[in-house]
Amino acid sequence: MADAPRFYLTTAIDYPNSRPHIGTAFEKIGADVQARYRRMEGYDVHFLMGNDENTVKVAKRAAELGQDVKAYCDDMARQFQEVWRALDISHDEFVQTSEPRHHRCARQFIQKVYDAGYIYKGGYEGWYCDGCEAFKTDTEAKLNNGLCDIHKAPLTRRTEPCYSFALTKFQDRLAKYLEEHPDFIQPESRRNEILSLMQTGLQDVNITRQGQSWGIKVPFDEDFTIWVWFDALLTYFTGIGYATDDDKFKKWWPANIHFIGKDITRFHCAIWPAMLMAAGLEPPRMVFGHGFVYRKNEETGKQEKYSKTLGNIVDPMEIIPLFGADAFRYYFLRECPFPGDGEFSKERYGDVFNSDLANNLGNLYSRCVTVVSKNYESHLPDTAKREPGVINTDVEIRTTVQQVQKHIEACQYNQALEKIWRQLLDPANRYTDKKEPWKQVKTDKEAAKHTLYDMVEQLRAAAILLKPFLPKTAETIYRSFNFPQPWEQVRYEDVWVHPPQVDDLRVTAALEDGKVKPLFPRIS
pLDDT computed for residue 168 by the predictor: 97
Q: Are 49 and 92 in contact (CB under 8 A)?
A: no
User: Is the pLDDT assigned to residue 410 strictly greater than 80?
Assistant: yes
pLDDT computed for residue 309 by the predictor: 62
Average pLDDT over residues 52-69: 93
Q: Are 331 and 523 in contact (CB under 8 A)?
A: no
pLDDT computed for residue 311 by the predictor: 66
pLDDT computed for residue 191 by the predictor: 94
**Cα dist. 406→186, 400, 411 in Å?**
15, 10, 9
SS3 category, 329: helix
Buried b (16+ CB within 10 A) or exposed e, 53-83: bbbebbbebbeeeeeebeebbbebbeebbeb
User: Is the pLDDT assigned to residue 99 strictly greater than 60?
Assistant: yes
pLDDT computed for residue 257 by the predictor: 98
179-190 pLDDT, tens digit each: 999 999 999 999
Average pLDDT over residues 384-408: 94
Q: Provide the pLDDT confidence category of residue 67 given band limits of 50, 70 and 90.
A: very high
pLDDT computed for residue 330 by the predictor: 98
pLDDT computed for residue 319 by the predictor: 95
Mean pLDDT of the chain: 93
User: Is the pLDDT assigned to residue 211 strictly greater than 90?
Assistant: no
pLDDT computed for residue 2 by the predictor: 57
Q: Residue 262 carries which side chain, given as an amino acid letter?
A: K
Single pTM value for the model: 0.92
Q: Provide the pLDDT confidence category of residue 34 given band limits of 50, 70 and 90.
A: very high
Q: Provide the pLDDT confidence category of residue 118 given band limits of 50, 70 and 90.
A: very high
User: Is the pLDDT assigned to residue 241 strictly greater than 80?
Assistant: yes
327-368 pLDDT, tens digit each: 999 999 999 999 999 999 999 999 999 999 999 999 999 999
User: Is the pLDDT assigned to residue 75 strictly greater than 90?
Assistant: yes
**135 against 383, higher pLDDT:** 383
Residue 281, phi then psi, degrees to nearest 5:
-120, 155
Q: Are strands 293-296 and 287-290 parallel, antiparallel or unpaired?
A: unpaired
**390 against 456, higher pLDDT:** 456
Percent of the chain with pLDDT over 70: 98
Residue 261 C-beta-side C-alpha neighbours within 13 Å: 16
368-378 pLDDT, tens digit each: 999 999 999 99
Percent of the chain with pLDDT over 90: 81
User: Is the pLDDT assigned to residue 35 strictly greater than 90?
Assistant: yes
Q: Are 304 and 282 in contact (CB under 8 A)?
A: no
Rounded to whole angstroms, the Cα distance separating 357 from 350 reads 10
**Cα dist. 415→191, 272, 366 in Å?**
21, 31, 26
Rounded to whole angstroms, the Cα distance separating 69 from 471 reads 36
pLDDT computed for residue 285 by the predictor: 98
pLDDT computed for residue 497 by the predictor: 86
Q: Which stretch of DSSP H or E encloses residue 516?
A: strand 515-516
User: Is the pLDDT assigned to residue 1 strictly greater than 60?
Assistant: no
pLDDT computed for residue 135 by the predictor: 73
pLDDT computed for residue 310 by the predictor: 62
**393 against 462, higher pLDDT:** 462
Average pLDDT over residues 486-501: 92
Average pLDDT over residues 22-38: 97
pLDDT computed for residue 148 by the predictor: 83
SS3 category, 268: helix
Q: Can you list the alpha helix ranges (DSSP code H) found in 116-204?
A: 138-143, 171-180, 188-200
